[in-house]
């Protein structure tokens, strides 16, 4: 079957059974181009046919009106059945088209994941760790977009790290170096903006960390890296530091830890409240949907928490940048970028060298 | 709104909160960690809760809860409190109230 237009059986020839025939024809579309324009064209044709079906029957029935009531009853019944069949047929068509659309999205998602896996140098098509493929539990378009953008973000990040390394080994001045630092910082802030949008689409997905690699997930805290961890990683690589800088960084570390602890405890409370909401009145069956509704409201709080954690990450980065000189900040960004890169490399190495059982 | 102004001026550190709000709880924990005991006013237990909420939004509080007042002035919501703390500016603001709360 090469094109859809030649496959339509003219409606006039068929009687009541036409809507069911149309259903069979939709099965024929499996091998076809399912781009949106094609789907619309197909829809328009099917729609015309459904309308024609009922019109086709209404025409000839007029001549029955003058006869006795018994045949008229039959006619009316036939009309009603036909309308019902046509209606059901339209519903099935709608469901089928929706299925096609989500399959299309899923296809795009899979292609992106394969792309990303190939870029990471994995043997695509072999036995891959699920975490490398990313979380594909839903075909949420917002999440598909996020995964795509995140993939590009990582590529850009790798480029920036390489540029920064070259810049630091060359003898460029502070003014130029500042440009590298500023764009590096902005790049992290861009990620936080992307995450905020993704959190509104599917906060569980963001919290799961499935969009990151396995080793990064190990260090996860409310949707990303721990700000206090950030400082600990960077400190040894920022030397030499002045006494004032050392003091400022120490104070920053302490404030960061306190803010983190406060958010962690808030999260624990949220866990507790969500658990209580879901677990309330388990043995009564009427309020099931109310319970789910109440739980979903609590999920908005989770979105706020992720936003707050990212805000803490951003503030920490900004404060560090204020305390350091340009050159120190450049070294810090390089160290940080390399650290995350190593975690990603560790994950990909881990997944391509499966451990053998002892 | 007079109620808010009154509460804020009467209490060194005031946190307008909701009993179900976990972010409010987090801010509360932070202040306790810093050695102060703010007054937690739960607006969902106040019959005028809705008006208070609207007033807080009008005052520029993004939450609208938690809304933190120090020395009678609105400091902001969680974002502002966190930013202040990381920049080292929160502790100087609350120091006058650390001694007081110990006396209590």
Residue A287 has a pLDDT of 66
Chain A residue closest to B20 (CA)?
A: A273
- Count Cβ atoms within 10 A of the Cβ of residue A92 and give its class: 0-12 exposed, 13-18 middle, 19 or more buried: middle
Residue A134 has a pLDDT of 47
Q: Which residues in chain B touch residue A265, judged by CB atoms under 8 angstroms apart?
A: 25-26, 29
Residue A131 CA, chain-centre distance (Å), reads 14
Residue A126 has a pLDDT of 40
Residue A108 has a pLDDT of 84
Q: Per-residue pLDDT averaged across A241-258, rounded?
A: 96
Per DSSP, A221 falls in state B
Burial A126-158 (b: 16+ CB within 10 A, else e): eebbebbbbbbebbbeebbbbbbebbebbeebe
Chain A residue closest to B34 (CA)?
A: A258
Interface check B3 vs A, CB under 8 A: no
Q: Which residues in chain B touch residue A273, judged by CB atoms under 8 angstroms apart?
A: 20, 22
Chain A residue closest to B80 (CA)?
A: A311
**Contacts (Cβ under 8 Å, ≥6 apart) of A133:** A113, A117
Q: Per-residue pLDDT averaged across B49-78, rounded?
A: 91
Sole residue written with tokens 């009687």: A15
Mean predicted lDDT score pLDDT of chain B: 89
Cβ–Cβ gap A311/B79 under 8 Å:
yes
Q: Which of A28, A29, A39, A21 is nearest to A85 (CA)?
A: A21
Cβ–Cβ gap A315/B86 under 8 Å:
yes
Degrees to nearest 5, angle at CA A99 with A95 and A105: 145
Q: Which residues in chain A touch residue B20, judged by CB atoms under 8 angstroms apart?
A: 273, 298
pLDDT at A22 over 50: no
Interface check B62 vs A, CB under 8 A: no
Q: What proportion of chain B, given as a percentage, has pLDDT over 70?
A: 94
Q: Which residues in chain A touch residue B82, judged by CB atoms under 8 angstroms apart?
A: 259, 308, 311-312, 315
pLDDT at A133 over 60: no
Residue B3 has a pLDDT of 85
Q: Which residues in chain A touch residue B19, judged by CB atoms under 8 angstroms apart?
A: none
**Lowest-pLDDT range of A85-89, A130-134, B15-19:** A130-134
Sole residue written with tokens 């237990």: B45
Residue B68 CA, chain-centre distance (Å), reads 2
Cβ–Cβ gap A262/B21 under 8 Å:
no
What count of Cα atoms within 13 Å lies in the side-chain half-sphere of residue A63?
A: 3
Chain B residue closest to A228 (CA)?
A: B86
Handedness of CA A311, A317, A319, A321 (dihedral sign): negative
Closest CB to A266 among B29, B83, B87:
B29
Name beta bridge partners: B58: none
Establish whether this prediction's ipTM goes over 0.90: yes
**Contacts (Cβ under 8 Å, ≥6 apart) of A152:** none
User: How many CB pairs (< 8 A) connect A and B?
Assistant: 67
Tens-digit pLDDT profile for residues A261-296: 999 999 999 999 888 888 877 777 666 677 777 777
A277 compared with A28, residue with greater pLDDT: A277
**Contacts (Cβ under 8 Å, ≥6 apart) of A193:** none
Residue A20 has a pLDDT of 45
Q: Are the CB atoms for A46 and A39 separated by under 8 Å?
A: no
pTM of the model: 0.69
CA distance B22 to B68: 15
Tens-digit pLDDT profile for residues A54-106: 444 444 444 545 555 667 888 999 999 999 999 999 999 998 888 888 888 88
Cβ–Cβ gap B22/A269 under 8 Å:
yes
Cβ–Cβ gap A262/B30 under 8 Å:
yes
Sequence-distant contacts of A66-74: CB under 8 A, at least 24 apart: none
B positions 11-40 inside 8 Å of A (CB): 20-23, 25-27, 29-30, 33-34
Cβ–Cβ gap A266/B26 under 8 Å:
yes
Sole residue written with tokens 């709880």: B25
Give the DSSP per-residue string, A41-87.
Answer: HHHHHHHHHHHHHHHHHHHHHGGGTTS-HHHHHHHHHHHHHHHHHHH
CA distance B32 to A109: 46
Q: In what order do the strands lie in the sheet with B13-17?
A: B39-42, B13-17, B67-70, B73-76
Chain B interface disruption, residue of A266, A274, A301, A313, most B CBs within 10 A: A266
Q: Are the CB atoms for B42 and B35 separated by under 8 Å?
A: no
To the nearest whole angstrom, how far is the Cα of A169 from the nearest Cα of chain B? 32
pLDDT at B41 over 50: yes
Categorize the per-residue pLDDT at A18 as very low, low, confident or very high, splitting at 50, 70 and 90: very low
The helix (H) or strand (E) run that includes residue B15 is strand B13-17
Cβ–Cβ gap B82/A256 under 8 Å:
no
Q: Which residues in chain A touch residue B36, judged by CB atoms under 8 angstroms apart?
A: none
Tens-digit pLDDT profile for residues A206-240: 999 999 999 999 999 999 999 999 999 999 999 99
């Amino acid at each position: 079957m090469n094109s859809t237009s030649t496959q339509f059986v003219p409606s006039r020839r068929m009687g009541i059974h036409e809507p069911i025939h149309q259903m069979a024809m939709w099965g024929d579309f499996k091998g076809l181009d399912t781009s949106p324009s094609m789907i619309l064209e197909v829809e328009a044709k099917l729609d015309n046919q459904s309308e024609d079906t009922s019109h086709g029957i209404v025409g000839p029935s007029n001549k029955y009106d003058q006869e006795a009531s018994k045949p008229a009853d039959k006619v009316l019944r036939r009309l009603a059945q036909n309308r019902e069949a046509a209606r059901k047929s339209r519903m099935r068509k709608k469901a089928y088209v929706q299925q096609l659309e989500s399959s299309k999205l899923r296809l795009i998602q899979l292609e992106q994941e394969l792309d990303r896996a190939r870029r990471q140098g994995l043997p695509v098509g072999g036995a891959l760790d699920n975490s490398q493929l990313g979380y594909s539990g839903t075909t949420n378009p917002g999440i598909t977009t996020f995964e795509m953008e995140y993939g590009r973000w990582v590529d850009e990040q790798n480029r920036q790290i390489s540029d920064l390394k070259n810049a630091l080994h060359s003898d460029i001045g502070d003014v130029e170096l500042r440009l590298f630092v500023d764009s590096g910082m902005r790049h992290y802030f861009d990620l936080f903006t992307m995450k905020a949008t993704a959190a509104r689409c599917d906060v569980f997905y963001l919290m799961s960390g499935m969009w990151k690699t396995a080793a990064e997930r190990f260090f996860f805290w409310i949707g990303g890296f721990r700000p206090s961890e950030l400082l600990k990683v960077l400190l040894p690589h920022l030397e030499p530091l002045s006494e004032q800088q050392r003091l400022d960084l120490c104070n920053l570390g302490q404030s960061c830890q306190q803010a983190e602890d406060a958010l962690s405890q808030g999260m624990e409370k949220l866990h507790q409240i969500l658990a209580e909401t879901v677990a309330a009145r388990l043995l009564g069956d009427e309020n099931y949907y109310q319970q789910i509704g109440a739980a979903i409201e609590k999920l908005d709080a989770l979105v706020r928490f992720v936003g707050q954690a990212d805000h803490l990450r951003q503030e920490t980065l900004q404060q560090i940048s204020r305390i350091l000189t340009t050159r120190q900040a450049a070294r810090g960004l390089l160290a940080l970028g390399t650290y995350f890169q190593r975690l990603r490399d560790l994950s990909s190495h881990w997944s391509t060298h499966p451990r053998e059982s002892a | 709104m007079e109620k808010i102004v009154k509460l804020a001026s009467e209490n060194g550190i005031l946190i307008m909160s909701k009993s179900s709000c976990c972010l409010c709880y987090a801010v509360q924990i932070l202040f306790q960690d810093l050695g102060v005991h703010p007054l937690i006013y739960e607006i969902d237990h106040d019959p005028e809760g809705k008006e208070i909420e609207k007033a807080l939004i009008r005052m520029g509080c993004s939450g609208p809860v938690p809304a933190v007042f120090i020395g009678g002035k609105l400091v902001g919501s969680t974002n502002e409190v966190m930013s202040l703390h990381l920049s080292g500016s929160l502790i100087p603001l609350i120091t006058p109230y650390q001694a007081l709360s110990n006396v209590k």
